[in-house]
Amino acid sequence: MGRGRFNKRRGGRGGGGGRDGGGAFARDFKRQKRGDDRNASDHGGHADIVRENAQFEAYYKAQKIVPEQEWEEFLTSLRTPLPMTFRINGSGKFATDLRDNLEGTLFAELLETKLVDEENHEIPPPKPLAWYPERLAWQCSYTRTQLRSKPILQGIFDFIKTANEIGSISRQEAVSMIPPFFLDVQPHHRVLDMCASPGSKTFQILERMHGDFEGNAKLPTGFVVANDVDLKRCNLLTHQTKRANSPTLLVTNHEAQNYPVIKGPKGEVFDFDAILCDVPCTGDATMRKSPDIWTRWTPGNGNGLHSLQLKIAMRGAQLVKVGGRLVYSTCSLNPIENEAVVAALLKECKGALELLDVSKELPDLKRSPGIHDWQVWDKFGYHPSFDGGEEMYKLSRTMFSDEETKKLPLERCLRLLPHHQDTGGFFVAVFQKVEAMEVPADAYTKKQAMKERIRLTLSVNAQDEIKMSHEVYQLVSKGASDVVPPIEGENGEYLLPHRGAKGPNGGSRWLGIDPVLPVNDPKVINSIYDVYGIRSEDIALHKNCVTRTLDTSRPKRVYTMTDSLREYLACDVGESLRVTCCGLKAFERQEIKEDDEDDVCDYRLTQDGLPMMFPFVTKRIIRPTFTDYKMLLERRTLAFEYSADAPQRAVVSDPETKKALLDLTLGCCVLVPKDEDLAAHNFTMQDLAIACWRGRTSTNLLVSKAETIHFIDKVRAVPVLATESKGEAPMETA
C-alpha cells in the first residue's frame, strides 16, 4: 500500500487501506446497526453511538492483523456488545462446589427449558470458557430485555450480582483473565504487577500464590507488589484485592518506568520471579464494552503511548530475575502498542530476554500469531520508514519494523481477536530472562523522586504546593540515596524500619501517605500471643506486624505480612518505596472497659485476618452446635439467657456451648462448629471459623454483613445433625 492520508469524512476510505466499495460497507453497517441498536440499548444505553470509524477500519485493514476472509466477521464482532463473563474465585473445594451447584441448578434448568426470545431465537445457556481450567469461568450473553422478561434469567443475573458483591465470583472480561496464567506464579515467588489497578489480575495472582485461600493452612513464602501511578487507583486496588485476605500483598504508588530498585545489604538487587506489565494503552480492543472508542479513535492515540509502554516494559526487564517470566499485555489491537514494543524491548535487551513460545500453554485458547511488519501512521499519513525525511508527528524509530525486526520470533506473541471466541480483543507477549542485565541504579534519581512527590503534593493540597515542594526537596535530598544497612535481628534477619515517620510534623516522609511503622511493643504483641495462644515460633508477629498510625504502643490496626515481604521492606532503607497498603489487617484494637481480669486482650482478631491466623490460634476457640452456629450467623447475636424484656432475642440453645462461652473472659473468640458436623459436610475448621465477641450477656458476630451472607451460603444446605442437644428450643419466644 502506498502512502496516503486518512480521509476524515465519516464513512470515507482513504490511504488505500479501506475496503473497496463504500456502498457495501454502508449496507453492512446499517444491517449490523439495526441489530446493534437493540443490543446496545439493552446493554447499557450506547444506542446513539455510531460504530464506525473510517480511519480505524483503514488502519487495521492495512495492518493485516486479521486474515482477509475474516475481516467482516471481525468488524461485526467489534460492533456487537460484549457478553458478560465471570470467574469463580479461588480454586479449591468452595470454587468447585459453587460451580457444581450452579451447573446442577440454575444452569441445568436453563439447559432443560430451551428458552427463546420474542423473535423465536434460541437464547443460549451460559457456557464455560473453553480454555479456562476446570470450568471455573463462564460467559452469558443476555440482553436486558431478556433478563427482564424471563424470571429464570433474572435468577442468574441476581446470582451474579450477589456473588460478585460477596466475593465468591469476580466479573471480569474473559481476555483480561489470560495474563496471570502465563506468569506461572508459585507460592514462593516475588511478583511485581507494575500497572495493577483496579486489580483484577493482581487478585488472580494472589489466588495462585495462595493456592486455595479457604482451605490452605500454609502461608505462601513469596510476596506480591501491586503498583499503580495513580494514588486514587491504588486505593481502589486495595479495596478490590481485600477479598484475597493476603499477608503477601504490598501496594505501591510509583511510575512503573521508574520503579525503585531495592538492594540488599550486599548490594544485591531485589529482583522478581514474575513481572506483569499490563500497561496503559488505547484500549481499542475494548470497543465492544466501550463503544465510545469508535468516536475518538485515531492512529495518534497508540503512537502517543508507545514510548511509555516501552519504558515500562524495559523497567520490567531490568527487575525480573534470570529465569523469571515477564508478561507484557495490552487491550489494544495496535501493532505500535504491541509488536513494536516487543521488538524494541528484545533489541534493547540485547539477548537478555527471550520471547517464549507458549503455544502449548492454555491449548484451548484460540490465538493469532504476532506480525513482523506493520505500518506507521500519523496525522500526515503513512510513513514507510523512519528515515524517509518526511515530516512526522511524534513518531520514533522504535515504532518501525526493520530488517532486524523481521528476524525476531514475533509470531510467538498472542493476539486475541474478538470474533474468534466472542470476547474483547487483547495482546500478550511472554518473555523469559535468560541473561543478567544492567539495572541502572539511578533510574530513580533524586530529581525524579522530587518530580513525583511534587505531583503527589499537588494532588494532596494544591495551595501548599510551593512551601511543601521545598520541604519535599529537603527530605528527598537527605533520604533518597542514603546507604544505611538494614536493621538486623538476633538471627541475622532484617527487621522493619520505622518508615515514613520522619517527615514534616512527624508525618509521612511521602506526603499524603501514612507512615508504615513496626508494631514490636512487647505489651501489644505478647498480649496477642498469650491471649490467643499463638506461638512466636509458628508465626513471628513480633517481627512482621506494622501499623499506619504514629502511636505504636496503642496501634489501632495491626497488619501482618510474610517474612519475605518484611525483608523487602527492611532493605528499603532509603525509603524509596511509597507504600499505600501493606499486608493483611489481622488485629484491631477494641478496648474492654471496667475489666480487671488479666487475660484480656485489647486486640480482636479480624474476620479478614482469620483465614491466615486461625491455624496458629490455640485459645479462645468455642465449638458450638450447628444450630447455634447457624442461628448466630442469621441473628448476629445470641444471648446467654432468655429475657422477658427482650423476648425476640435469640438465645444459645446448647448448654455446653453456653458454658464454654461463659467460661471465657470478655473479648474476642473464634467459633467453629463441632468436628462431627465439619466432617459430615466435608468442611475444615478454617472453612467455618468466625470471629465473635464474648460480651457480658451475649455473644456477637464480628463479621461484616456481606461476609456473613457468604457463610450463610456455605452452610445453607447443611442439615442439623442428630448429635445435637435436643433440650432447648433454638430460639425462645415470648
Ligand X SMILES: C[S@@+](CC[C@H](N)C(=O)[O-])C[C@H]1O[C@@H](n2cnc3c(N)ncnc32)[C@H](O)[C@@H]1O
Please list the active-site residues: 331
Beginning with the edge strand found earlier in the chain, give each strand of the sheet holding 557-560 in spatial order: 517-518, 545-547, 557-560, 584-589, 603-605
Stretch that binds ligand X, among 251-259, 344-352, 418-426, 708-716 (CB under 6 A): 251-259
**707 contacts ligand X (rule: CB under 6 A):** no
Of the pair 281, 639, the CB lying nearest ligand X is at: 281
At 635, list the grid cell: 441473628
Of the pair 423, 560, the CB lying nearest ligand X is at: 423
The H-assigned helical ranges of 559-696 are: 563-571, 610-613, 626-635, 655-663, 675-680, 685-688
For the chain, the C-alpha Rg in angstroms (whole number) is 29
Q: Are 256 and 171 in contact (CB under 8 A)?
A: no
- Inter-CA distances, 210 with 91, 166, 247, 468, 611, Å: 10, 19, 10, 42, 11
Cα 187 from chain centroid (whole Å): 16
Smallest distance, ligand X to C-beta of residue 672, A: 35
Smallest distance, ligand X to C-beta of residue 286, A: 10
**Interface of this chain with ligand X, residues 179 to 218, rule: CB under 6 A:** 195-201
Of the pair 257, 627, the CB lying nearest ligand X is at: 257
Q: Are 692 and 657 in contact (CB under 8 A)?
A: no
Smallest distance, ligand X to C-beta of residue 444, A: 13
228 is in an annotated binding site: yes
Of the pair 184, 563, the CB lying nearest ligand X is at: 184
**233 contacts ligand X (rule: CB under 6 A):** yes
> Considering CB under 6 A, how many residues would be counted as binding ligand X?
18
Of the pair 200, 686, the CB lying nearest ligand X is at: 200
Select from 166, 256, 539, 612 the one that contacts ligand X (CB under 6 A): 256
Task: Report which DSSP code applies to 130.
Answer: T
**370 contacts ligand X (rule: CB under 6 A):** no
**229 contacts ligand X (rule: CB under 6 A):** yes
Smallest distance, ligand X to C-beta of residue 176, A: 6
At 196, list the grid cell: 495493577
**Interface of this chain with ligand X, residues 267 to 326, rule: CB under 6 A:** 278, 280, 308
Between CA 446 and CA 154 the distance in angstroms is 56
- 689 CB-near residues (< 8 Å, 6+ apart): 610, 611, 614, 670, 671, 672
Q: Where are the beta strands (DSSP E) in 271-375?
A: 272-278, 320-330, 353-355, 368-369
Q: Where are the beta strands (DSSP E) in 490-544?
A: 494-495, 517-518
Smallest distance, ligand X to C-beta of residue 283, A: 7
At 209, list the grid cell: 500464590
End-to-end CA distance of the chain: 87
Select from 32, 257, 552, 562 the one that contacts ligand X (CB under 6 A): 257
Select from 37, 73, 117, 230 the one that contacts ligand X (CB under 6 A): 230
- Inter-CA distances, 511 with 190, 197, 468, 508, Å: 27, 21, 9, 6
Smallest distance, ligand X to C-beta of residue 238, A: 13
Residues in the chain: 734
Q: In 10 A of CB 663, how many CB atoms?
A: 9
Smallest distance, ligand X to C-beta of residue 203, A: 8
Of the pair 238, 708, the CB lying nearest ligand X is at: 238
Site string for ligand X, 135-174 (x = CB under 6 A): ----------------------------------------
Which residue is at the shortest CB distance from ligand X? 195
Of the pair 199, 418, the CB lying nearest ligand X is at: 199
**Interface of this chain with ligand X, residues 383 to 422, rule: CB under 6 A:** none
Between CA 661 and CA 597 the distance in angstroms is 16
Task: Report which DSSP code applies to 468.
Answer: H
List, as residue ranges, the binding site for S-adenosyl-L-methionine. 228, 278
Binding interface with ligand X (CB under 6 A): 176, 195-201, 228-230, 233, 255-257, 278, 280, 308
- Feature table: binding site: 228, 278
